[in-house]
Structure 1
Amino acid sequence: MIKVNENPPLYLLDDFEFPDPYEPFDEGFVGASYDLYPKRLLEGYSKGFFPWYQDDEGMYHWFVLNERMLLKTDEVKTTKKLLRKLRSSKWDFKINTRFEDVIRHCANVKRKHENGTWISEGFIKAYSELHNYGFVISVESYYEGELVGGFYGVAINKYFSGESMFHLKPDASKLALIYFCDILKQNGIEFIDCQVPSEHLGSMGGKVYKKEEFIPMIWEASGYNNRFETNIDTETEKVYD
């Protein structure tokens, strides 16, 4: 790790170390790395950092925002309409059945105020490798047997960071999120790190936390400085009645 600028601090992440997340970074931008090796991703996420995009020179930009949105798994907001869909036999929800399809759908989603996608082929390759190791999970929504929505995220010990969502049918990603939050609760996982605050996730119960609040929460949940494991039982089922 090389500090290339003092004020604001900026780093070249050329090894597997990360700086103090409490440093006064400019708009949360920490620095860049040449790669997204599994060890780098695990170290970064467990300490509160995440990569956001890849620049034209192939460098991966890392961030630790001053404000972060977290969704407590026992504070998810739902509606009667969504609950009816969850109970419907037409809908089904699964985990890790279509990871590659999910991440590529997320990469192709057209979003407001964004040109293109931050999910480059480099991201897809890196997170696919981490998925093979068990540290990235995909959640899928099916309607009448067809994949219509879902999301994927990084799972380290009791920490889950949601990365990106997509839907091809209204409410498909919301339903997947509600379903998965029930599974996380059953596994003793208290929150999803939604990273960037959004109106969509705020409407589902997400709340904004200051860095001084969310960094200790992430460290405790991820077991920072301890062994990296994935502790989510993906076989857990939830019955809505």
Structure 2
Amino acid sequence: MYYLLEDLYFPPVSEADEEGILAIGGDLNPERLKLAYKSGIFPWFNEGEPILWWAPDPRMVLFLDELIVSKSMRNILNRNQFTVTFNTAFKEVILNCQQIKRDGQNGTWISDQMIEAYCVLNAEGIAKSVEVWQDEVLVGGLYGIDLGHVFCGESMFSKVSNASKTAFISLVNYLKKENYKLLDCQVYNSHLESLGCREIDRDEFMSILKSK
């Protein structure tokens, strides 16, 4: 495992261990974060622990044409139960992602330090959010890193049923319209699989990432 120093550098993703951990240490400086995402790497660690940098193999992604929208979800969208906005309340979204209680998880990996760093990237137009509102109350959303041809999803939250799915589907529809190549979802979970996401080899992911 590579230990990062002050230099703005990451080793090749092929050097990640079997778990997908590539490097440890460093900081959440915006320039380091931008280099990480452009290199197929993302930070994921518990608060109070050293920063871990990941480049897993396989990689969970969504090819945009493979999105699965259930009949019941289509009915919800057609009823206009929610109002969706893009990048109008980034900090509120990331704070909700930090604070929402999740089954099987104690605490959160979204530290205050991470929130501060991603808000800087939002101000630079790189980190973006999707917000879902009901009666003018923020009830769901997601955020991630926009690389212009690949969107790297980071986290999402839902306070009412189907709000995070609405954010996800709305994001995918936007990315399709703008001719993005891929939505990066990082690591497997069954909820993402139900929406059409699947695992691909890291080499294939890197080829798409570098194809801009």
Tell whether the structures are fold-level matches, with TM greater than 0.5. yes
CA RMSD of aligned residues (A): 1.5
Residue 93 (structure 2) aligned to one of 90, 102, 107: 102
Deviations 1:28-79 (A, max 9, x none): 112223321111111111111000025525x321111111110111111002
- Aligned counterpart, 1:164: 155
- Aligned counterpart, 1:215: 206
Alignment partner of 1:10 is 2:2: yes
- Aligned counterpart, 1:227: none
Provide the TM-score with structure 1 as the length reference.
Answer: 0.83
Q: Distance in 1 between matches of 2:205 and 2:81?
A: 38
Describe the shift of the 1:120–1:186 C-alpha distance in structure 2 as closer, same or farther (beyond 3 A): same
Deviation at 1:87, TM superposition (A): 2.1
Deviations 1:158-201 (A, max 9, x none): 12100001000101010111111111011110211000111000
- Aligned counterpart, 1:41: 33
Q: Distance in 2 between matches of 1:207 and 1:116?
A: 27
Contact 1:11 1:31 in 2 (8 A): yes
Alignment partner of 1:140 is 2:131: yes
Question: For residue 130 of structure 2, what is the amino acid of its counterpart?
Answer: V
Q: Distance in 2 between matches of 1:13 and 1:25?
A: 19
- Aligned counterpart, 1:71: 62
- Aligned counterpart, 2:172: 181
The structure carrying a bigger helix percent of its residues is 2
SS at match of 2:22: strand
Describe the shift of the 1:13–1:181 C-alpha distance in structure 2 as closer, same or farther (beyond 3 A): farther
What 5-or-longer segments of structure 1 have no aligned partner?
1-8, 224-241
Deviation at 1:27, TM superposition (A): 1.2
Describe the shift of the 1:21–1:129 C-alpha distance in structure 2 as closer, same or farther (beyond 3 A): same
Task: Show the 5 A alignment for 1:53-64.
Answer: 53-56=45-48, 59-64=50-55
- Aligned counterpart, 2:103: 112
- Aligned counterpart, 1:204: 195
- Aligned counterpart, 1:151: 142
SS at match of 1:81: helix
Provide the TM-score with structure 2 as the length reference.
Answer: 0.94
- Greater than 6 Å deviation, 4+ residue runs: none
Between the two proteins, what is the percent identity of the paired residues? 37
Q: Distance in 1 between matches of 2:22 and 2:53?
A: 6
Q: Distance in 2 between matches of 1:75 and 1:147?
A: 28
Residue 51 (structure 1) aligned to one of 25, 43, 54: 43
Which of these two proteins has the greater Rg computed from alpha carbons? 1
Residue 82 (structure 1) aligned to one of 63, 73, 93: 73
Count of residues in Structure 1 that have an aligned counterpart in Structure 2 = 212
